[in-house]
Chains A and B, each alone.
Chain A
Amino acid sequence: MQKPIRILVIDDEPLIRRAFQKLFQKEQYQVFLAEDGLVGVELWEKEKPDCVFLDVIMPGLNGWEVLEKKGDFSGAKVQMMSAYTGDLQDKKIWIEKIDGFLQKPFEDIMKIKNWVDNLR
């Protein structure tokens, strides 16, 4: 039995968290859910996920602040998610380090699943 892929979802929208939980409910995945940035950093430290889905605009710590607070990604692949398509000029330094940027609403949830499956 293969080690499950550890997935951390940090998003304040319960429906998004629920969708990710449902998408990765099979036993080959292990999903951790954080409803805000602070919990997200904590879980990231504690659970050492293989990948992180990180919402940008959240109350408390926003996505970029989570990255700053975390410092190194502890080997995790990071996908940022946002409905906001504003200016990303000053986020260049992070954009180079992350793996991708998902526009909300997601075009096709299967693409996300495929990306996670390919991490193995």
Chain B
Amino acid sequence: MVRSKKRLAERSVTLRNKELQTLALDLEKLVEERTLWIESSNREQKELIKTERQFVQFLIEMSLKTSQEEVLLSFRDQFRKLQMAQEVFLLQGRKLTLILKSEKQEYDLPESIWNTQDVESLNENVSRIIAKILSRPVGRLFIFPLPQFENEQVSGLLIEKVSVKHLGEMDYSLIKKYVQALGLSFERIKLEESNRVSALRWEKVFDGALDPVAIITENYDVIRSNQSFDQVPGKQKCYQIWANRAEPCDNCPMLNSDNKSEVAKSEKLFQVMRNSLTNENSVEEKVYLHRYVDVTETRQAHIKFIQNEKLSSIGQIAEQMAHEIYNPLAGIIALVQILLMDSKHEGTTRQDLEEIGKAAVRAQKVIENLQDFVREESDLTISNLDEIVDKTLPLLKMKWRSYRLDLKLNSAEGSILVQPQLISQVIYNLIQNSCQAMQQGQTLSIRTQVLGNVAQLVIEDQGVGIPEHLQSSIFKPFFTTKSLGEGTGLGLSLSKQIAERFNGKLYFKSSVGHGTQFFLELPLAEAH
């Protein structure tokens, strides 16, 4: 009994053990299953993360590419690495692009390949052509559409897969992601290219402009300039670079807030045009575009034209005046001569008549001189400075009559070969300038003498003198200290030109506060 009880108990334990074993096994299985599941899910997770990482890496790579070929090439390499493609082709309208040995190749496809709606037969058509190009059998082609750009033909990406296996759902979505990224890269490159082209075009225009152009801040700092503007290392301010000055140019548009002004630079005159590049109300530093147009020649021509016009209209007036005045003058002179023949006019009456006659002759001379002065072209004539000064002075009487005139002419013997009316214009200019420098009651001294083989004229005023810093400029064209409309700034430069035309010299000595002496020297005719 005891035995049987014992056996029973043993059996029961064994059963229990078995049950436990089964349970343990089940548990073990469960755990194993669980573990497996977790492991596999981990692997998948890892795989997914890896794929994502690869994709991100690809995106970064793409963003650095600067051309379609590079993008395409890197796309192909990526797909080879992923073992998802052998080759990729770009299909744009009728153009097929592929990368062979890292080089872009383009082929025109026949129009007929598009004559089908069926993707399969399109694939077959293209496949045949590619096989011909590559001289090898072509794997299965998958076509993925690419985003279309403006004005562009339909485009797509062909992916050649070597494995016969069809693409799975996962593969499709992955490839789509890559293709989308490729499309975006293409788009970016297109935009960058068009930006670069227009930037380049702008730069070419900017640099190619013959006129100096510069972008300048309101503090005269040059931000950018073209080749004509010049570049001086270490110099930042526009006036340092362009005009070689220590301070802003006189009359700079920056100073007078006009958008256009004329600025003299060395021997030239520039029109400076200004455009604001910043908003009127902006609180930032204002930036301007300055354009410099050399108007030296046109202005010189214009002023000469006006002067010629002036002279020629004076000439016409002089001609008419001469006729109108000469007639009564002829009558006066003739009558005086007749009356003087009559012996009954004696004493003061005779003197009166003589004076009337002299005055009439003087009037006649003034008209003659005026006609000479404005005569357009005259021949080289033997003359002398005294004669020319004599003829010029009456024309200037209005100018010098408020000053004391100290006239000592001693060069009647000094014959010079000149166009007298031009020398007369020089003397006119010099006397006019001297008068403008003087105060009422001061003395204007005019002297001539023969010095060796030159005839010399010295015109001396007691005016304010020419400040030292201006002395080097006064013969430069367009240099003027007079207000607008008073002087052209050409008088002295033209005078110097005239003096030099007859192998002469025009120069000056000036001391501030004491006056200025102008010297005109012309070679004697014998000395030629």
Contact = CB atoms under 8 A, between A and B. Distances in A.
A23 B334 contact: yes
A11 B330 CA distance: 12
Nearest to A58: B327
Contacts of B328: 13, 15
B329 interface: yes
Interface string A67-92: 00000000000000111101000000
Contact of B335 (A15, A81, A84): A15
A115 to B, nearest CB: 14
Interface in A9-39: 11-16, 18-20, 22-23
B335 A104 contact: no
Contact of B326 (A14, A18, A86, A104): A104
A57 B327 CA distance: 10
Given A13-B328, A15-B328, A106 B323 contact: no
Pick from A15, A57, A84 the residue with the most CB of B within 10 Å: A15
Contacts of A13: 327-328, 330-331
A105 interface: yes
Contacts of A81: 330
Question: Chain B: interface secondary structure?
Answer: helix
A18 B329 CA distance: 13
Given A13-B328, A16-B331, A19-B331, A105 B338 contact: no
Interface in B303-350: 319, 322-323, 325-335, 337-339, 341
A110 B337 contact: yes
Contact of A19 (B319, B334, B361, B364): B334
Contacts of A11: 327
Interface in B15-39: none
Q: How large is the interface on A (under 10, 10 to 19, 20 to 34, 35 or more residues)?
A: 20 to 34
B233 to A, nearest CB: 65
A102 to B, nearest CB: 9
Nearest to A25: B338
A18 B330 contact: no
Interface in B441-475: none
A96 interface: no
A105 B385 CA distance: 27
Contacts of A16: 327, 330-331, 334
A18 B319 CA distance: 25
A105 B341 CA distance: 18
A18 B323 CA distance: 18
Contact of B323 (A19, A23, A57): A57
Contacts of A83: 322-323, 325-327, 330
Contacts of B323: 57, 82-84
Interface in A51-68: 55, 57
A81 B331 CA distance: 12
Given A22-B338, A23-B338, A105 B333 contact: yes
A104 B331 CA distance: 9
A81 B338 CA distance: 18
Nearest to B337: A109
A18 B337 contact: no
Nearest to A12: B327
Nearest to A82: B323
B331 A109 contact: no
A109 B338 contact: yes
Contacts of B360: 105
A104 B337 contact: no
Contacts of B329: 104-105
A23 B339 CA distance: 9
Contacts of A23: 334, 338
Interface string B221-234: 00000000000000
Contact of A106 (B333, B339, B341): B333
Contacts of B341: 110
A20 B360 CA distance: 18
A14 B319 CA distance: 21
A105 B337 CA distance: 12
Contact of A14 (B322, B331, B333, B338): B331
A106 B322 contact: no
Interface in B351-387: 360-361, 364
A15 B333 CA distance: 10
B330 A105 contact: yes
Nearest to B324: A83
Most buried by A among B323, B332, B360, B364: B323
Contacts of A15: 327-328, 330-332, 334-335
Contacts of A18: 331, 335
A98 B333 CA distance: 25
A23 B333 CA distance: 12
Contacts of B333: 105-106, 109
B520 to A, nearest CB: 30
A57 B335 CA distance: 21
Interface of A: 11-16, 18-20, 22-23, 55, 57, 81-84, 86, 104-106, 108-110
Given A13-B330, A84-B319, 11 more contacts: A13-B327, A13-B328, A14-B331, A15-B331, A15-B334, A82-B323, A83-B326, A86-B319, A105-B334, A105-B360, A106-B337
Interface of B: 319, 322-323, 325-335, 337-339, 341, 360-361, 364
16 contacts: A13-B327, A15-B330, A16-B330, A18-B331, A22-B335, A22-B338, A57-B323, A82-B323, A83-B322, A84-B322, A84-B323, A104-B326, A105-B329, A105-B361, A106-B334, A108-B337
